[in-house]
Amino acid sequence: MKNISFKAKTTVWITALVSAVCILCVIGIVLMGIKLSDNQIEQSLISTVESNADEIEYKNGILEIESDFEFYKDGIYCDIYSSDFEYIGGETPNSLIHFSDFENGKIKKTEKNDNSYLVYDYRLDFSRFEYEIDVFSGQIIKYEANALASQNTSPAEYSVTYFENGINTEKAIDIALSHAGTTRENTTVIAAELPGYESRQVFRIEFICSEPVYDSIWIRGLIPSASAENAFGNVGKAFILIIPLFIILAAVGAYIISKKTIKPIEDIGRSAHEISSGKDLSKRIEINSDTNEITTLAKTFNEMLKRLQISFESEKQFTSDASHELRTPLAVIKAECEYALSGNADDNDKSVALESVLEQSDKMNSLVNSLLYLARTEQGMQRFKLIKTDLSSLICEICNNFNSEKGIKLESKIENGIFINAEPSLIYQMVENLLSNAVNYGKENGYIKVSLYNENSNIILSVKDNGIGIKEEDLSKIWNRFYRTDTSRSGGEGFGLGLALVKQIVQLHGGEVKVDSVIGEGSEFFIIFSKKV
Ligand code: ADP
């Protein structure tokens, strides 16, 4: 996976995720479907058997099965068995007759010949009786017994009706009970009424008997349970066939999404490659108006390029300036040596030439030393370790050792006990550079004022002179390496590295530099250290 592109990785991950979710959903749907379908099948098995129970009754003492009894309906077989579990009738294949033990009102799952079946047994206890008795003769017109005992079992509140030359309600009840072979104690009369037939008048007596009068009958409902599993098994199989299609679709979708997401990053990469291969640091990545992670990345990248460009160009400038500064003394050395060796030079000329060579090599030496110093301070903290330094004492010592050929006087005003974390040799070099500039660009018999003091959270070192001053347009440039103002160039002494070194030293100590100057009146350089550093 390590060497695979980000786009490919994203595609693989999204595809795997989507496929896993799809597969889990399919499994879930199939399992739920099977469960739901099982429940549905169980319910329809129970309702088919129980509605068939309505179709069996004893009429006038004879067991009657109504024509509405459904022996086979929607895959469900309904068979009738006697109370001794003798098969009475049905349409079940022979192999399934007496297929398992009977248990009233329970759904069972049973296996037979590698097939599984749902079985529901329902026992019909004929405990509800209905009689019609002639009101005059007391003769039983018809009687029935059925298994609907649970439907209405509350005792009837009936009024007793008398018929002249006939029987009354109580008598009719007694006739019915004695015919059924039961007594009032074992029965609950639930209806005793006169239905009011037109042809003849009868008492209709209905009662529930708690003792068995007729033999029970069993209805057995049976359905292959595999039908539900098969139905959903087929759905599952269909899904299994569809899953590869799902995966392909997910992969295509994931590829499109990752391609779209990664495109702006690819654009940045392409621009970066063009910039790096063309070595043109001035080129920038195009950024649209959106604000998002990608444009932020592109902006950061452009800022980095800008800084790189500045740093690269200043390095280039530095190298060209350094070679330029070295070329002049080298050219002089070469010319002097050629003249001394030419044969035209007498001893005096040769010694003048040698003096000139020495002078130029001193100049080169000083330039190389300054460059080395700059390079060292550039390495910053890697090279120097800052220690707690008594800045007041250090500046005092430098001022005390000051000595100028130009008759310049140095006045110092130094607050005692100012400490900073510093590298003393660098601070020494920094003050030396400022003082030598103040002398070089100062007037004969002028002055230099050095002050060190606390100001709020800062420590300020100021070096002020009443020298030639600096033009306003030069003020920002004098800190650049090899920069010299027109006025100083004609003087010819320095290389334009002194202030650059000062700035670098100050920055290494976490401070900053400032200059105020008025041309013809003098300059004041400020070094500002923060006490917090
Ligand atoms: P240099 O070796 O030329 O003195 P610096 O980096 O020390 O180089 O100074 C850069 C330029 O800043 C100088 O060439 C000079 O023109 C100007 N400068 C620096 N210090 C002073 C000063 N105290 N008064 C006037 N000009 C100054």
Do 321 and 308 form a contact (C-beta atoms < 8 A)? no
Distance (Å) from CA 420 to ligand 1 centroid? 27
- Between 243 and 347, name the one with better pLDDT: 347
Distance (Å) from CA 433 to ligand 1 centroid? 9
Task: Identify the three-state secondary structure at position 309.
Answer: helix
Distance (Å) from CA 211 to ligand 1 centroid? 130
pLDDT tens for 430-479 read 999 999 999 999 999 999 999 999 999 999 999 999 999 999 999 999 99
The rounded distance, in Å, linking the Cα atoms of 29 and 223 is 24
Is residue 220 in contact with ligand 1, taking CB distance under 6 Å?
no
Is residue 435 in contact with ligand 1, taking CB distance under 6 Å?
no
Q: The tokens 């292959």 sit on which residue? A: 224
Do 176 and 131 form a contact (C-beta atoms < 8 A)? yes
User: Which residues, 6+ apart, have CB-to-CB distance to 214 below 8 Å?
Assistant: 58, 63, 126, 145
Characterize 130-154 residue by residue with b for buried, 16 or more Cβ atoms within 10 angstroms of its Cβ, and e for exposed: bbbbbbeebebeebbbbbebeeeee
Ligand 1 closest atom vs CA 501 = 6
pLDDT tens for 282-334 read 878 787 777 778 888 888 888 988 888 888 887 888 888 888 888 888 999 99
Cβ count within 10 A of residue 450: 22
Please report how many Cα atoms fall inside a 13 Å half-sphere around the Cα of residue 484, on the Cβ side: 19
The rounded distance, in Å, linking the Cα atoms of 78 and 58 is 19
Distance (Å) from CA 97 to ligand 1 centroid? 120
Do 233 and 31 form a contact (C-beta atoms < 8 A)? no
Is residue 294 in contact with ligand 1, taking CB distance under 6 Å?
no
**Least confident range of 38-42, 176-180, 430-434, 512-516:** 38-42
Q: Which of 432, 440, 515 to mutate to test the pocket of ligand 1 (most atoms within 8 A of CB)?
A: 440
Is residue 422 in contact with ligand 1, taking CB distance under 6 Å?
no
Is residue 329 in contact with ligand 1, taking CB distance under 6 Å?
no
User: What is the reported pLDDT for 438?
Assistant: 95
Q: Which of 367, 431, 470, 506 to mutate to test the pocket of ligand 1 (most atoms within 8 A of CB)?
A: 470
Q: Whose CA is closest to atom 13 on ligand 1? A: 484
Please give the backbone phi and psi of residue 172, each rounded to the nearest 5 degrees, phi first.
Answer: -60, -40
pTM greater than 0.85 (yes/no): no
Q: The tokens 């800190």 sit on which residue? A: 479
Give residue 371's region: left, alpha or beta (phi > 0; psi -120 to 50): alpha
Percentages (nearest 5) of helix, strand, coil residues in the chain: 45, 25, 30
Q: Which of 499, 502, 521, 526 to mutate to test the pocket of ligand 1 (most atoms within 8 A of CB)?
A: 499
The rounded distance, in Å, linking the Cα atoms of 213 and 155 is 20
User: What is the reported pLDDT for 231?
Assistant: 59
